[in-house]
Homo-oligomer: A and B are copies of this chain.
């Protein structure tokens, strides 16, 4: 059976992972990235990719799954931001 500490860890991982879903949906719907930081999404997406490699190295399914999902969501937001910069929308 799962103990309290493990449960808090799973809740934490779930919340920080799913949090990027409403941001990705908002960005896709509005295409507005004016107040999003390019530096943040560049550094964050790279960091999540490192977490993914870390999970693969230690063969931890939870870390792999959480960061694969976050990588896709943060990556979508980053692509929108770069597209808007290149097309001078912001």
Contact = CB atoms under 8 A, between A and B. Distances in A.
A62 interface: no
Copies of this chain present in the complex amount to 2
A25 B51 CA distance: 25
The interface residues of chain A, by DSSP majority, are classed as helix
Contacts of A30: 35
Interface of A: 4-5, 8-9, 11-23, 25-27, 30, 32-37, 39-44, 46-48, 50-51, 53-54, 57-58
28 contacts: A5-B57, A8-B57, A9-B50, A9-B54, A11-B50, A12-B48, A12-B51, A12-B53, A15-B44, A15-B46, A15-B50, A16-B44, A16-B48, A16-B51, A17-B47, A19-B39, A19-B40, A19-B42, A19-B47, A20-B44, A22-B39, A22-B40, A23-B36, A26-B37, A27-B35, A30-B35, A33-B35, A34-B35
